[in-house]
Amino acid sequence: MELAAAQGERVRGTTAPNPPVGCVILNAGGIVVGAGGTAPAGGPHAEVQALRQAGAAARGGTAVVTLEPCNHHGRTPPCTAALVEAGIAAVHYAVADPNPAAAGGAAHLAGHGVTAVHAPHQVVTRGALRAWLHRQRTGRPHVTYKLAATLDGRTAAADGTSRWVTGEQARAQVHAERAHLDAIVVGTGTVLADDPWLTARRPDGSLAAHQPLRVVVGTRELPRDAKVLDDSAETLLVRTHDPREVLAALDGLDDVLLEGGATLAGAFVAAGLVDRVVAYIAPTLLGSGVAALGDAGVRTMTDALQMVTEDVQLLGNDVRVSAVPRVSAGPMGGRGEAD
């Protein structure tokens, strides 16, 4: 299943409106003979990609797929039919399809003599399918709040300088993540203060193949020569300060990265619209300067927003922490630890 999840991660950000599914095919002897991820909309799904690679070796084998195979005819034929036709003997899937139009694949497979096994795996629900599953459940994009801060929670020094808080490895990971996202959201204050480009770039500085939508929130006018207004990627200006209106403007998108600044991030947290926090922490002390998070609606310790740490990673001299809100924890209540 981890191999299948890696296939889904490989295509994340390119499959909308379809989910980024991954699949591997094992032959009757348990050897991997095919692997694939869902192609861009209109192209073959992960199961078909993997079956094509496997060829005749798939007969009598097992398909391991991150999402229950679809059982409807949309732009492409149902994956259940392709699996049955290929002679697959068993299908193991991590997530039952929550989309009523596509669900029912496991039952269809079982009805055609294929053993269908629901095999939940955290690497899938926390991986490429996380944002798509969130939209299926809530009807809105999944929002990850990303911040880079010092040990004492500062994102910039007292004079406003902020380059660079974290090291090269942390920055490289951020760019690699951007290349899989649907959108990056910042406020006009960040654009006016830092003039960010908000693109996904390779280690050599060139633009990645996929660029997320750049979203600038606020009512202040931007300079005509702002980097975020160039033609490297599409940019959307959302003239509001209401986080809910921002997400409404991103209808059809699944995976959104909130990069700040502190005021906008605080507004999203206060509105209960942050689904994950990814913090890059540098072993540096400033003592004064810009705080990472602005007013988030917390007035007392009992209202503090309790998070559950799901992953900690060392990146050079920096630490990356990924955390999700606890169930019913303050303004961000209603989220699950295992989301």
Helices (H), the chain: 2-11, 46-54, 79-85, 105-111, 122-125, 130-138, 168-178, 188-194, 243-249, 262-270
Cβ atoms 247, 140 nearer than 8 A: yes
143 burial (CB, 10 Å; 0-12 / 13-18 / 19+) is: buried
Q: How far is CA 156 from CA 266, 283, 286, 287, in A?
A: 16, 14, 8, 10
Q: Could you confirm whether 47 is annotated as catalytic?
A: yes
Distance separating alpha carbons of residues 339 and 336, to the nearest angstrom? 5
| Phi and psi torsions of 213, nearest 5° | -65, 130
Token couple for 52 = 């094509």
Cβ atoms 95, 68 nearer than 8 A: yes
Type of residue numbered 324: V
Distance separating alpha carbons of residues 179 and 173, to the nearest angstrom? 10
Token couple for 236 = 């959307």
Catalytic residue among 9, 47, 177, 259: 47
Distance separating alpha carbons of residues 15 and 26, to the nearest angstrom? 24
Distance separating alpha carbons of residues 61 and 53, to the nearest angstrom? 13
The closest alpha carbon to 74, from 110, 38, 118, 120, belongs to: 38
Q: Which residues are marked as active site?
A: 47
